[in-house]
Structure 1
Amino acid sequence: MGIRVLVVEDDAEIADFIVRGLREEGYTVESASNGVDGGHALAHGPWDLVVLDWWLPGADGLTLLKRFRQAGNVTPVLFLTARDAVSDRVRGLDGGADDYLCKPFDFEELLARVRALSRRQVGAVSNVLTYGDVHVDLTTHRVDRAGRRLELTAKEYALLIFFLRHPDEVLSRTRIYEHVWEERYDGVSNTLEFHVMQLRKVLEAQGGRLIHTLRGRGYTFGANPDEGADR
Protein backbone atom coordinates (compact mmCIF):
# COMPACT_ATOMS: atom_id res chain seq x y z
CA MET A 1 0.00 0.00 0.00
CA GLY A 2 1.03 3.60 -0.51
CA ILE A 3 1.10 6.41 2.03
CA ARG A 4 -2.45 7.49 2.97
CA VAL A 5 -2.81 11.15 3.93
CA LEU A 6 -5.87 12.86 5.42
CA VAL A 7 -6.15 16.62 4.84
CA VAL A 8 -8.61 18.46 7.12
CA GLU A 9 -8.87 22.05 5.87
CA ASP A 10 -11.94 24.29 5.52
CA ASP A 11 -10.42 26.72 3.01
CA ALA A 12 -11.36 25.12 -0.32
CA GLU A 13 -8.53 26.78 -2.25
CA ILE A 14 -5.86 25.72 0.23
CA ALA A 15 -7.31 22.22 0.52
CA ASP A 16 -7.33 21.78 -3.26
CA PHE A 17 -3.76 23.10 -3.46
CA ILE A 18 -2.56 20.54 -0.90
CA VAL A 19 -4.59 17.59 -2.17
CA ARG A 20 -3.60 18.09 -5.81
CA GLY A 21 0.04 18.61 -4.92
CA LEU A 22 0.30 15.51 -2.73
CA ARG A 23 -1.52 13.34 -5.25
CA GLU A 24 0.85 14.57 -7.93
CA GLU A 25 3.67 13.36 -5.68
CA GLY A 26 2.15 9.89 -5.47
CA TYR A 27 0.34 10.04 -2.13
CA THR A 28 -3.16 8.68 -1.63
CA VAL A 29 -5.09 11.66 -0.28
CA GLU A 30 -8.57 12.13 1.19
CA SER A 31 -9.94 15.37 2.59
CA ALA A 32 -12.53 16.82 4.97
CA SER A 33 -13.66 20.44 5.14
CA ASN A 34 -14.98 20.79 8.70
CA GLY A 35 -14.47 19.52 12.22
CA VAL A 36 -17.38 17.08 12.16
CA ASP A 37 -16.33 15.33 8.95
CA GLY A 38 -12.69 15.58 9.99
CA GLY A 39 -13.38 13.90 13.32
CA HIS A 40 -15.28 11.12 11.59
CA ALA A 41 -12.46 10.58 9.08
CA LEU A 42 -9.84 10.54 11.83
CA ALA A 43 -11.79 7.89 13.71
CA HIS A 44 -12.25 5.70 10.67
CA GLY A 45 -8.72 5.56 9.25
CA PRO A 46 -6.22 4.12 9.19
CA TRP A 47 -4.05 7.06 8.10
CA ASP A 48 -0.31 7.25 7.72
CA LEU A 49 -0.20 11.03 8.08
CA VAL A 50 -2.67 13.82 8.87
CA VAL A 51 -2.49 17.46 7.72
CA LEU A 52 -4.78 19.33 10.11
CA ASP A 53 -5.94 22.95 10.12
CA TRP A 54 -6.44 24.68 13.48
CA TRP A 55 -9.52 26.76 12.68
CA LEU A 56 -12.38 24.55 11.50
CA PRO A 57 -16.16 24.90 11.62
CA GLY A 58 -17.86 22.36 13.86
CA ALA A 59 -14.85 21.48 16.00
CA ASP A 60 -11.44 23.12 15.94
CA GLY A 61 -8.32 21.26 14.95
CA LEU A 62 -6.77 21.35 18.40
CA THR A 63 -9.81 19.62 19.87
CA LEU A 64 -9.73 16.98 17.12
CA LEU A 65 -6.02 16.47 17.68
CA LYS A 66 -6.42 15.94 21.43
CA ARG A 67 -9.25 13.45 20.89
CA PHE A 68 -7.15 11.65 18.29
CA ARG A 69 -4.26 11.27 20.72
CA GLN A 70 -6.50 10.34 23.64
CA ALA A 71 -7.86 7.48 21.53
CA GLY A 72 -4.32 6.12 21.34
CA ASN A 73 -3.53 7.11 17.77
CA VAL A 74 0.16 7.77 17.10
CA THR A 75 -0.15 8.75 13.43
CA PRO A 76 2.04 11.80 12.65
CA VAL A 77 0.07 15.06 12.47
CA LEU A 78 1.21 18.23 10.69
CA PHE A 79 -0.68 21.20 12.14
CA LEU A 80 -1.55 24.12 9.84
CA THR A 81 -2.54 27.54 11.13
CA ALA A 82 -2.26 31.25 10.47
CA ARG A 83 -1.38 31.71 14.16
CA ASP A 84 2.38 32.10 14.33
CA ALA A 85 2.90 33.18 17.95
CA VAL A 86 5.30 31.02 19.95
CA SER A 87 2.58 30.36 22.52
CA ASP A 88 0.29 29.00 19.78
CA ARG A 89 3.01 26.73 18.47
CA VAL A 90 3.58 25.41 21.96
CA ARG A 91 -0.14 24.73 22.40
CA GLY A 92 -0.25 22.85 19.12
CA LEU A 93 2.80 20.75 19.86
CA ASP A 94 1.71 20.09 23.43
CA GLY A 95 -1.70 19.12 22.08
CA GLY A 96 -0.13 16.26 20.14
CA ALA A 97 1.11 17.70 16.85
CA ASP A 98 4.36 16.32 15.45
CA ASP A 99 5.10 19.40 13.37
CA TYR A 100 3.69 22.88 12.85
CA LEU A 101 3.48 24.94 9.66
CA CYS A 102 2.24 28.53 9.51
CA LYS A 103 0.14 29.92 6.67
CA PRO A 104 0.95 31.08 4.10
CA PHE A 105 3.45 28.40 3.13
CA ASP A 106 5.26 27.10 0.06
CA PHE A 107 4.23 23.66 -1.13
CA GLU A 108 7.86 22.54 -1.27
CA GLU A 109 8.21 23.17 2.46
CA LEU A 110 4.99 21.32 3.22
CA LEU A 111 6.13 18.43 1.05
CA ALA A 112 9.49 18.27 2.82
CA ARG A 113 7.74 18.12 6.19
CA VAL A 114 5.36 15.43 4.92
CA ARG A 115 8.32 13.36 3.73
CA ALA A 116 10.08 13.77 7.06
CA LEU A 117 7.00 12.75 9.04
CA SER A 118 6.42 9.78 6.73
CA ARG A 119 9.91 8.50 7.45
CA ARG A 120 9.08 8.43 11.17
CA GLN A 121 6.42 5.81 10.58
CA VAL A 122 8.91 2.98 10.94
CA GLY A 123 7.17 -0.32 10.48
CA ALA A 124 3.73 1.29 10.30
CA VAL A 125 3.54 1.30 6.53
CA SER A 126 5.71 0.26 3.63
CA ASN A 127 6.95 3.22 1.66
CA VAL A 128 7.60 0.97 -1.32
CA LEU A 129 5.10 -0.19 -3.94
CA THR A 130 6.12 -3.41 -5.67
CA TYR A 131 4.80 -5.56 -8.47
CA GLY A 132 7.09 -8.25 -9.79
CA ASP A 133 10.41 -6.60 -10.58
CA VAL A 134 8.98 -3.05 -10.47
CA HIS A 135 9.68 -1.09 -7.30
CA VAL A 136 8.68 2.48 -6.42
CA ASP A 137 9.97 4.23 -3.31
CA LEU A 138 7.21 6.68 -2.38
CA THR A 139 9.53 8.73 -0.18
CA THR A 140 12.35 9.32 -2.68
CA HIS A 141 10.24 8.76 -5.84
CA ARG A 142 12.85 6.35 -7.16
CA VAL A 143 11.47 3.88 -9.70
CA ASP A 144 13.33 0.69 -10.57
CA ARG A 145 12.68 -2.29 -12.77
CA ALA A 146 14.90 -5.36 -12.70
CA GLY A 147 17.34 -3.38 -10.57
CA ARG A 148 17.69 -0.53 -13.05
CA ARG A 149 16.50 2.99 -12.34
CA LEU A 150 13.77 4.40 -14.58
CA GLU A 151 13.30 8.07 -15.40
CA LEU A 152 9.64 9.11 -15.57
CA THR A 153 7.81 12.38 -16.03
CA ALA A 154 5.48 13.52 -13.24
CA LYS A 155 2.39 12.22 -15.07
CA GLU A 156 4.03 8.93 -15.97
CA TYR A 157 4.96 8.50 -12.31
CA ALA A 158 1.41 9.31 -11.14
CA LEU A 159 0.01 6.90 -13.72
CA LEU A 160 2.35 4.12 -12.61
CA ILE A 161 1.42 4.68 -8.96
CA PHE A 162 -2.27 4.36 -9.82
CA PHE A 163 -1.63 1.13 -11.72
CA LEU A 164 0.49 -0.28 -8.88
CA ARG A 165 -2.28 0.42 -6.39
CA HIS A 166 -4.77 -1.46 -8.56
CA PRO A 167 -2.90 -4.47 -9.93
CA ASP A 168 -4.80 -6.96 -12.09
CA GLU A 169 -7.94 -4.79 -12.00
CA VAL A 170 -9.84 -3.72 -15.10
CA LEU A 171 -9.47 0.07 -15.04
CA SER A 172 -11.65 2.15 -17.33
CA ARG A 173 -10.16 5.09 -19.18
CA THR A 174 -12.56 7.40 -17.36
CA ARG A 175 -11.46 6.16 -13.93
CA ILE A 176 -7.76 6.44 -14.74
CA TYR A 177 -8.00 9.85 -16.38
CA GLU A 178 -10.18 11.44 -13.71
CA HIS A 179 -7.90 10.17 -10.93
CA VAL A 180 -4.51 11.00 -12.47
CA TRP A 181 -5.49 14.23 -14.26
CA GLU A 182 -8.31 15.14 -11.84
CA GLU A 183 -10.44 16.34 -14.75
CA ARG A 184 -13.60 14.99 -16.32
CA TYR A 185 -12.78 12.63 -19.18
CA ASP A 186 -14.35 13.84 -22.42
CA GLY A 187 -13.99 10.52 -24.22
CA VAL A 188 -12.13 12.21 -27.08
CA SER A 189 -8.71 13.29 -25.79
CA ASN A 190 -5.83 10.90 -26.45
CA THR A 191 -3.76 12.28 -23.55
CA LEU A 192 -4.16 9.09 -21.54
CA GLU A 193 -3.24 6.85 -24.47
CA PHE A 194 -0.12 8.90 -25.15
CA HIS A 195 1.09 8.68 -21.55
CA VAL A 196 0.33 4.97 -21.36
CA MET A 197 2.38 4.47 -24.53
CA GLN A 198 5.30 6.45 -23.08
CA LEU A 199 5.14 4.59 -19.75
CA ARG A 200 5.08 1.27 -21.58
CA LYS A 201 8.23 2.19 -23.51
CA VAL A 202 10.13 2.96 -20.32
CA LEU A 203 8.93 -0.16 -18.50
CA GLU A 204 9.41 -2.49 -21.45
CA ALA A 205 12.97 -1.33 -21.99
CA GLN A 206 13.79 -3.44 -18.92
CA GLY A 207 11.27 -6.27 -19.16
CA GLY A 208 8.02 -7.67 -20.49
CA ARG A 209 4.67 -5.93 -20.93
CA LEU A 210 2.78 -5.05 -17.76
CA ILE A 211 0.17 -2.58 -19.06
CA HIS A 212 -2.41 -4.33 -21.22
CA THR A 213 -5.16 -2.73 -23.30
CA LEU A 214 -8.60 -4.29 -22.94
CA ARG A 215 -10.65 -3.34 -25.98
CA GLY A 216 -13.74 -1.42 -25.01
CA ARG A 217 -12.95 -1.67 -21.30
CA GLY A 218 -9.70 0.15 -20.55
CA TYR A 219 -6.44 -1.17 -19.15
CA THR A 220 -5.10 -3.67 -16.67
CA PHE A 221 -1.68 -3.73 -15.01
CA GLY A 222 0.06 -6.99 -14.24
CA ALA A 223 -0.17 -10.46 -15.74
CA ASN A 224 -1.44 -10.66 -19.29
CA PRO A 225 -5.24 -11.31 -19.14
CA ASP A 226 -6.52 -14.46 -20.77
CA GLU A 227 -8.55 -12.65 -23.43
CA GLY A 228 -9.35 -9.26 -24.89
CA ALA A 229 -5.87 -7.77 -24.59
CA ASP A 230 -3.77 -6.04 -27.22
CA ARG A 231 -0.39 -7.67 -26.88
Structure 2
Amino acid sequence: MWLKRFGGGCSREKLRSILETPDGELIIVGGKSHGNNQYKCTFEFYDDAWILKVDADNGAKIWEKTYGGRNYEHFEDIVKNPNGGYYAIGTACNKKNPPWGGDYCAKNKSALWMKFDDSGNSLGKKHFTNGPNQTGFSITNTSSGGTAWVGESKKLVGSKWQYKAIFYKLTGTKVNYSKVVDLGGWNATSIELTKDGGFIIAAGKNVFKTDSDMKIPALEK
Protein backbone atom coordinates (compact mmCIF):
# COMPACT_ATOMS: atom_id res chain seq x y z
CA MET A 1 0.00 0.00 0.00
CA TRP A 2 1.31 3.45 -0.81
CA LEU A 3 0.44 7.08 -1.53
CA LYS A 4 2.57 9.29 -3.77
CA ARG A 5 2.25 12.85 -5.04
CA PHE A 6 3.74 13.85 -8.38
CA GLY A 7 4.36 17.19 -10.05
CA GLY A 8 5.98 20.48 -9.24
CA GLY A 9 3.77 21.65 -6.41
CA CYS A 10 1.34 23.74 -8.48
CA SER A 11 -2.21 23.35 -7.21
CA ARG A 12 -3.83 23.05 -10.65
CA GLU A 13 -1.67 20.13 -11.80
CA LYS A 14 -3.85 17.05 -12.22
CA LEU A 15 -3.39 13.37 -13.04
CA ARG A 16 -6.50 12.27 -14.91
CA SER A 17 -6.16 8.64 -16.05
CA ILE A 18 -4.14 5.56 -15.07
CA LEU A 19 -3.63 2.03 -16.38
CA GLU A 20 -1.43 -1.00 -15.80
CA THR A 21 1.39 -1.61 -18.28
CA PRO A 22 2.22 -5.01 -19.85
CA ASP A 23 5.25 -5.26 -17.52
CA GLY A 24 3.11 -4.75 -14.42
CA GLU A 25 3.90 -1.09 -13.75
CA LEU A 26 1.63 1.96 -14.07
CA ILE A 27 1.20 4.67 -16.73
CA ILE A 28 -0.52 7.93 -15.72
CA VAL A 29 -1.48 10.99 -17.79
CA GLY A 30 -2.69 14.50 -17.02
CA GLY A 31 -1.55 18.12 -17.15
CA LYS A 32 1.55 19.63 -15.53
CA SER A 33 2.12 23.36 -15.13
CA HIS A 34 5.08 25.03 -16.82
CA GLY A 35 4.09 28.52 -15.66
CA ASN A 36 4.45 31.66 -17.72
CA ASN A 37 7.17 34.26 -18.02
CA GLN A 38 6.30 35.70 -14.60
CA TYR A 39 4.96 32.92 -12.40
CA LYS A 40 5.95 29.27 -12.00
CA CYS A 41 2.47 28.25 -10.86
CA THR A 42 -0.45 29.80 -12.65
CA PHE A 43 -3.79 28.63 -14.03
CA GLU A 44 -4.39 25.67 -16.33
CA PHE A 45 -3.81 27.53 -19.58
CA TYR A 46 -0.09 27.12 -18.93
CA ASP A 47 -0.18 23.31 -18.65
CA ASP A 48 1.80 20.76 -20.63
CA ALA A 49 0.44 17.33 -21.54
CA TRP A 50 1.97 14.98 -18.97
CA ILE A 51 2.76 11.25 -19.02
CA LEU A 52 4.70 9.28 -16.43
CA LYS A 53 5.48 5.68 -15.54
CA VAL A 54 5.71 4.56 -11.92
CA ASP A 55 6.55 1.38 -10.04
CA ALA A 56 3.34 -0.44 -9.10
CA ASP A 57 4.87 -1.81 -5.88
CA ASN A 58 6.02 1.46 -4.31
CA GLY A 59 5.01 4.38 -6.56
CA ALA A 60 8.59 5.30 -7.42
CA LYS A 61 8.81 7.32 -10.63
CA ILE A 62 10.46 5.39 -13.47
CA TRP A 63 10.24 8.12 -16.11
CA GLU A 64 8.31 11.30 -16.82
CA LYS A 65 7.71 13.30 -20.01
CA THR A 66 5.79 16.44 -20.92
CA TYR A 67 4.63 17.64 -24.32
CA GLY A 68 3.48 21.10 -25.27
CA GLY A 69 4.39 24.64 -26.14
CA ARG A 70 4.28 27.91 -24.30
CA ASN A 71 0.58 27.65 -23.50
CA TYR A 72 -1.99 24.92 -22.98
CA GLU A 73 -2.03 21.16 -23.45
CA HIS A 74 -3.16 18.27 -21.26
CA PHE A 75 -4.21 14.64 -21.47
CA GLU A 76 -7.53 13.30 -20.19
CA ASP A 77 -7.26 9.57 -20.92
CA ILE A 78 -4.90 6.84 -22.13
CA VAL A 79 -5.32 3.37 -23.63
CA LYS A 80 -2.87 0.58 -24.46
CA ASN A 81 -2.02 0.00 -28.11
CA PRO A 82 -2.42 -3.79 -28.64
CA ASN A 83 0.72 -3.66 -30.79
CA GLY A 84 2.77 -1.90 -28.11
CA GLY A 85 2.82 1.60 -26.73
CA TYR A 86 -0.15 3.80 -25.94
CA TYR A 87 -2.64 6.35 -27.26
CA ALA A 88 -3.76 9.42 -25.31
CA ILE A 89 -6.49 11.99 -25.82
CA GLY A 90 -6.88 15.46 -24.35
CA THR A 91 -6.91 19.08 -25.43
CA ALA A 92 -4.54 21.78 -26.65
CA CYS A 93 -4.50 25.43 -27.60
CA ASN A 94 -4.91 25.58 -31.37
CA LYS A 95 -3.46 29.01 -31.94
CA LYS A 96 -0.17 28.93 -33.82
CA ASN A 97 1.63 31.48 -31.67
CA PRO A 98 -0.60 32.63 -28.82
CA PRO A 99 0.37 35.51 -26.51
CA TRP A 100 1.25 35.18 -22.87
CA GLY A 101 -1.96 37.00 -22.00
CA GLY A 102 -5.11 37.79 -23.91
CA ASP A 103 -7.75 35.07 -24.02
CA TYR A 104 -5.32 32.33 -22.83
CA CYS A 105 -6.66 30.00 -25.54
CA ALA A 106 -9.97 29.68 -23.67
CA LYS A 107 -11.89 30.10 -26.93
CA ASN A 108 -9.47 28.31 -29.24
CA LYS A 109 -8.90 24.68 -28.26
CA SER A 110 -8.57 21.48 -30.25
CA ALA A 111 -8.73 17.88 -29.13
CA LEU A 112 -5.18 16.49 -28.86
CA TRP A 113 -4.55 12.86 -29.95
CA MET A 114 -1.08 11.40 -29.44
CA LYS A 115 0.61 8.03 -29.97
CA PHE A 116 3.53 6.84 -27.78
CA ASP A 117 6.04 4.03 -27.64
CA ASP A 118 6.52 2.01 -24.45
CA SER A 119 8.96 4.63 -23.10
CA GLY A 120 6.57 7.55 -23.52
CA ASN A 121 8.24 8.95 -26.64
CA SER A 122 5.82 10.56 -29.06
CA LEU A 123 5.26 8.68 -32.32
CA GLY A 124 2.93 11.31 -33.72
CA LYS A 125 0.10 13.61 -32.81
CA LYS A 126 -2.98 15.20 -34.35
CA HIS A 127 -5.19 18.13 -33.44
CA PHE A 128 -8.90 17.77 -34.19
CA THR A 129 -11.16 20.80 -34.45
CA ASN A 130 -14.82 20.48 -35.38
CA GLY A 131 -16.01 23.77 -33.95
CA PRO A 132 -14.14 26.47 -32.02
CA ASN A 133 -13.45 24.39 -28.90
CA GLN A 134 -12.95 20.65 -28.58
CA THR A 135 -11.70 18.40 -25.77
CA GLY A 136 -11.25 14.63 -25.91
CA PHE A 137 -12.26 12.98 -22.63
CA SER A 138 -12.01 9.24 -23.29
CA ILE A 139 -10.25 6.94 -25.79
CA THR A 140 -10.39 3.24 -26.65
CA ASN A 141 -9.14 0.84 -29.32
CA THR A 142 -11.22 -0.29 -32.30
CA SER A 143 -11.61 -3.85 -33.54
CA SER A 144 -9.87 -2.84 -36.79
CA GLY A 145 -6.66 -1.57 -35.18
CA GLY A 146 -7.47 2.11 -34.82
CA THR A 147 -8.78 4.28 -32.00
CA ALA A 148 -12.10 5.85 -31.10
CA TRP A 149 -12.58 8.78 -28.77
CA VAL A 150 -15.34 10.98 -27.41
CA GLY A 151 -15.51 14.38 -25.81
CA GLU A 152 -16.92 17.85 -25.84
CA SER A 153 -17.47 20.62 -28.34
CA LYS A 154 -18.41 23.99 -26.93
CA LYS A 155 -19.26 27.34 -28.46
CA LEU A 156 -19.89 30.73 -26.89
CA VAL A 157 -23.36 31.89 -27.93
CA GLY A 158 -24.00 35.37 -26.59
CA SER A 159 -22.84 35.21 -22.99
CA LYS A 160 -23.42 31.47 -22.52
CA TRP A 161 -21.49 28.36 -23.53
CA GLN A 162 -23.30 25.82 -25.69
CA TYR A 163 -22.09 22.23 -25.11
CA LYS A 164 -22.35 19.28 -27.49
CA ALA A 165 -20.99 15.73 -27.55
CA ILE A 166 -18.41 14.65 -30.12
CA PHE A 167 -17.60 11.16 -31.41
CA TYR A 168 -14.54 10.22 -33.53
CA LYS A 169 -13.31 6.95 -35.02
CA LEU A 170 -9.78 6.89 -36.49
CA THR A 171 -7.36 4.70 -38.40
CA GLY A 172 -4.05 6.23 -37.44
CA THR A 173 -4.85 9.93 -37.75
CA LYS A 174 -7.34 9.42 -40.60
CA VAL A 175 -10.92 10.17 -39.60
CA ASN A 176 -13.28 7.31 -40.52
CA TYR A 177 -16.27 8.83 -38.73
CA SER A 178 -17.04 11.94 -36.73
CA LYS A 179 -20.21 13.38 -35.29
CA VAL A 180 -21.18 16.42 -33.23
CA VAL A 181 -24.42 15.79 -31.36
CA ASP A 182 -26.63 18.15 -29.39
CA LEU A 183 -27.74 16.21 -26.30
CA GLY A 184 -29.26 19.14 -24.49
CA GLY A 185 -26.02 20.44 -23.03
CA TRP A 186 -24.33 17.11 -22.28
CA ASN A 187 -20.88 16.08 -23.50
CA ALA A 188 -19.51 12.54 -23.92
CA THR A 189 -17.17 11.42 -21.14
CA SER A 190 -16.50 7.70 -21.55
CA ILE A 191 -16.13 5.12 -24.34
CA GLU A 192 -15.28 1.41 -24.30
CA LEU A 193 -14.87 -1.22 -27.03
CA THR A 194 -17.40 -4.06 -26.76
CA LYS A 195 -17.00 -7.76 -27.59
CA ASP A 196 -18.97 -7.41 -30.83
CA GLY A 197 -16.61 -4.71 -32.12
CA GLY A 198 -18.94 -1.83 -31.36
CA PHE A 199 -18.76 0.74 -28.59
CA ILE A 200 -20.58 1.86 -25.48
CA ILE A 201 -20.57 5.59 -24.78
CA ALA A 202 -21.65 7.54 -21.71
CA ALA A 203 -22.79 11.12 -22.30
CA GLY A 204 -24.48 12.90 -19.42
CA LYS A 205 -27.65 10.91 -18.64
CA ASN A 206 -27.37 9.07 -21.97
CA VAL A 207 -25.76 5.71 -22.73
CA PHE A 208 -25.28 4.69 -26.36
CA LYS A 209 -24.48 1.31 -27.89
CA THR A 210 -23.02 1.67 -31.39
CA ASP A 211 -21.94 -0.66 -34.16
CA SER A 212 -18.31 -1.03 -35.24
CA ASP A 213 -18.64 2.04 -37.47
CA MET A 214 -19.54 4.04 -34.33
CA LYS A 215 -22.89 4.98 -35.80
CA ILE A 216 -26.02 5.35 -33.68
CA PRO A 217 -29.16 5.08 -35.87
CA ALA A 218 -31.17 7.47 -33.71
CA LEU A 219 -28.52 10.16 -34.22
CA GLU A 220 -28.07 9.66 -37.96
CA LYS A 221 -31.40 11.20 -38.91
Q: TM-score range by the shorter chain?
A: under 0.3
Instruction: Return the structure number with greater relative CO, CA threshold 8 A, min gap 6.
Output: 1
Higher strand share: 2
TM-score between both structures, scaled by the size of structure 2: 0.25
**Bigger radius of gyration:** 1
Higher helix share: 1
TM-score between both structures, scaled by the size of structure 1: 0.25
